Amino acid sequence: MNNLKRLIKISLLALVVTGTMSCTQKESSTSASKDAQSDNVVSTRLGNLELVSGYPSKEAIEKLYDERDFQRACQIHTWALPMIGFHGLHMAQRDQLGVKDGDVALFFTLEDKAGMLTPNVTTFYEFSFWNLETQDPLVVDVPAGLTAGGVLDLWQRPITDIGQTGPDKGAGGKYLFLAPGSKMVDAPGYRVFISPTVQIWFATRALDPDPIKAEEILRKFKLYSWNDRNKPNTTNFVPVNGRKWTSSHPTDITYFKMVAEAIQPEPVQLRDRVMYGMMASLGIEKGKPFQPDERLTKILNEAAMVGELTARANAYSKRFPGSRVYEGKQWEYAVMVNLDQEDLNYTQIDQRASWFYEAIGNSEGMQGKLLGFGQVYLETSRDKAGNWLEGAKSYRLRVPANPPVTQFWSITLYDNTTRGLLVTDQGTADVSSRQDIEVNADGSVDIYFGPTKPAGSNKNYIKTTPGKGWFPYFRLYGPTEPYFNKTWQLEDIEEIKTK
């Protein structure tokens, strides 16, 4: 009997242990199944990516490569902005205006400059492009007088200023530009520079307030090959004469086609080798045709638009430090990129992208750091309340008395999508101290903006377009000490409420 009881107890204990083990095994099996499921499916911003024994599935591989190519294309878009600004202007001048390399285009009126990124309306411009390999070294013979400009490389880095802010200090002189890798030449009477890039751009403005004198001095510049220096050809000047053109950046795959074109004649610079590696994965390489397939074309079209909008955000809502001019106000420095586009430990990607999305050109004179010379560029895209500037609303800007300039000041309005001049049937996009403007009794100047002339406003009025955002550049030519020590400060643009 006792043996029977003992046997029953042992059997019951076995059942309990077996049941417990069975439950443990089931739980373990369920847990293992869950772990296997989480190991084999990874949730990401691309959706669920399936793994097979740790390897990405065929579908996951396609998603990952598409995302890699898209990300690289977006970064290439930001990186390439200064080069595309150069190349876009070059192609527009050559193909739309018929101005050959070595010829000089003349821009006088608002209509002449309408296709340009953020030009001023007050001064006359002249531009020329040159290829140092196909056209030999370039000589620029600069006349003495009131001009300011420079010669820039493909990345819009100034090789040198010329004119008032250059080494000639407005006295004029001969400048010689050699191709990358050239040996320095003995050229008495010339200022000699070796360009980092094959393609270069000559640009200058005339500062004389008399339009006749301004045009005369621009036509005194001479551009010719160093090999023709003993008997130089006559420089060919081509006035734009109001013809329609544009150099705004493409927002589709054309952007990347332009990148592929622009790099072909150029040596690869050390700082750009990683980007060239990224471009190679997209089929953009030196010495090879760019022939994207259907998959890549779709990706690059989307990346061009996302790149465009990223550039817009970076320009109009800056997140890099030091961009605000005055504490508690909306005005920002438009030019935050150094001349060589380098900071202490890195290349200024965001700073240069902000400026070269909006504008073209850079020079010592455009840095806003020269007392009594050069230019200051202040910009804003928001009113005093921090709201975007809109074409359907009315605004007022009060310019305090005694603006700190040796030459003149101006405010010019631009379309925030094209960055070109805000063109309306008014036929103007600016107000400047060189115009016949209305001045208040205390010396300040009120300027008004809106789709219709606001009630109670004066003649200092610039028309805007409903449905279009806009932003201004406030320029100071020849800034003086009150600008630099900020004892003179520009007021914010204030919305005028209308019924």
* 399 occurs within a structural domain: yes
> Quick one: average pLDDT of 427-451?
97
Q: Residue 38 has what pLDDT? A: 55
Q: Residue 109 has what pLDDT? A: 95
Q: Residue 235 has what pLDDT? A: 97
Domain total for the chain?
Answer: 2
* 297 occurs within a structural domain: no
Q: Are residues 202 and 335 in the same domain?
A: no
Task: List, in order, residues 6 or more apart from 8 with CB less than 8 Å away.
Answer: none
Q: Residue 27 has what pLDDT? A: 45
DSSP summary character for residue 407: E
Backbone angles phi, psi at 378, to 5 degrees: -110, 140
Is residue 10 over pLDDT 70?
A: no
Is residue 28 over pLDDT 90?
A: no
> Quick one: average pLDDT of 210-218?
97
CATH number for position 235? 2.60.40.1610
**SS3 label, residue 163:** strand
Helix axes 273-280, 58-91, angle to 10 degrees: 120
Please compute Rg for the chain using Cα positions.
31
Q: Are residues 200 and 340 in the same domain?
A: no
Q: Are residues 196 and 333 in the same domain?
A: no
* 366 occurs within a structural domain: yes
Q: Residue 9 has what pLDDT? A: 46
Q: Residue 16 has what pLDDT? A: 37
> Quick one: average pLDDT of 93-99?
97
**Residue 17 binned pLDDT confidence (cut-offs 50, 70, 90):** very low
* 40 occurs within a structural domain: no
Q: Residue 39 has what pLDDT? A: 73
Question: Containing domain of residue 450, as a range?
Answer: 318-496
**Residue 398 binned pLDDT confidence (cut-offs 50, 70, 90):** very high
DSSP summary character for residue 452: S
Is residue 303 over pLDDT 60?
A: yes
Q: Residue 25 has what pLDDT? A: 45
**Residue 427 binned pLDDT confidence (cut-offs 50, 70, 90):** very high
Q: Are residues 341 and 473 in the same domain?
A: yes
Query: Does the reported pTM lie above 0.85?
Result: yes
Instruction: Quick: pLDDT tens for 132-162.
Output: 999 999 999 999 999 999 999 999 999 999 9
Is residue 233 over pLDDT 80?
A: yes
Q: Are residues 233 and 331 in the same domain?
A: no
What's the CA gap between 133 and 293, in Å, rounded? 33
**SS3 label, residue 434:** coil
Q: Among residues 113, 114, 145, 137, which one has the least CA distance to residue 127?
A: 113
Is residue 14 over pLDDT 60?
A: no
Last residue of a domain, one of 194, 213, 239: 239
* 340 occurs within a structural domain: yes
* 63 occurs within a structural domain: no
Q: Are residues 349 and 480 in the same domain?
A: yes
Q: Residue 30 has what pLDDT? A: 43
Please state, rounded to an integer, the average pLDDT across all residues of the chain: 92
Last residue of a domain, one of 179, 206, 239: 239
What's the CA gap between 363 and 167, in Å, rounded? 12
Is the torsion defined by CA of 382, 388, 390, 393 positive or negative? negative
Q: Are residues 327 and 195 in the same domain?
A: no
Is residue 395 over pLDDT 70?
A: yes
Instruction: Quick: pLDDT tens for 344-362.
Output: 999 999 999 999 999 999 9
Q: Residue 6 has what pLDDT? A: 47
* 415 occurs within a structural domain: yes
Q: Which of 34-38, 50-54, 280-284, 314-318 has the lowest mean pLDDT?
A: 34-38
Q: Residue 498 has what pLDDT? A: 76
CATH number for position 402? 2.60.120.600
* 450 occurs within a structural domain: yes
**Residue 31 binned pLDDT confidence (cut-offs 50, 70, 90):** very low
Q: Are residues 103 and 211 in the same domain?
A: yes
> Quick one: average pLDDT of 216-223?
98
Q: Are residues 204 and 339 in the same domain?
A: no
Instruction: Quick: pLDDT tens for 159-176.
Output: 999 999 999 999 999 999
Task: List, in order, residues 6 or more apart from 267 with CB less than 8 Å away.
Answer: 180, 181, 197, 198
Last residue of a domain, one of 205, 239, 273: 239
Q: Residue 129 has what pLDDT? A: 98
**SS3 label, residue 325:** coil
